[in-house]
Amino acid sequence: MTGPCPDSFHRATSRLALAVALTVGMGALLALPSAHSAAAPATDSLDLPALRVDEQLPAPLLAVTRAGDALISVGLHGLIQRSIDGGQTWQQVDSPVSSDLVQVRFRDERNGWIVGHDALVLHSTDGGRSWQVQLDGRRLLTLLNDYYGPRAERGDESAALVLKEVQMAVGTSATPGVLAAPFLDVLFDDQGQGFAVGAFGMVLHSLDNGQNWEPWIERSDNERRMHLYGLAEHAGTFYISGEQGLLLRLDAGQQRLVRIETPYSGTYFGVRAFDQLLLAYGLRGNLFASRDDGQHWQAVATHLNSSLVSIVEQGPELIVVSQGGQLVKLDRQSLKVTALPDARVGEVYAASATAQAGSLVVTRFSGAKVIDIARAD
Taking only the tens place, the pLDDT of each residue in 45-96 is: 999 999 999 888 888 999 999 999 999 999 999 999 999 999 999 999 999 9
CATH topology assigned to domain 6-295 = Methylamine Dehydrogenase; Chain H (2.130.10)
Q: Which pLDDT belongs to residue 175?
A: 82
Between the alpha carbon of residue 300 and those of residues 278, 338, 346, the distances in Å are 12, 12, 24
Q: Is the pLDDT of residue 33 over 70?
A: no
Split at pLDDT 50, 70, 90, the class of 188 is very high
User: Predicted confidence band at 375 (pLDDT cuts at 50, 70, 90)?
Assistant: low
pTM, entire model: 0.88
Does the pLDDT value for residue 12 go beyond 90?
no
As a whole number, mean pLDDT of residues 218-230 equals 95
pLDDT attached to residue 337: 96
CA distance 297 to 280: 10
Please state which of the ranges 10-19, 52-61, 146-155 shows the lowest mean pLDDT.
10-19
At residue 344 the predicted structure's pLDDT band, cuts being 50, 70 and 90, is: confident
Q: Cβ distance 278 to 335 under 8 Å?
A: no
What would the CATH number be for the domain defined by 301-377?
A: 2.40.10
Return d(Cα 272, Cα 319) in angstroms, integer: 12
Please state the rounded mean pLDDT for residues 328-342.
93
Structural domain spans, the chain: 6-295, 301-377
Instruction: Pick the closest to residue 4 from 91, 242, 15 (CA basis).
Output: 15
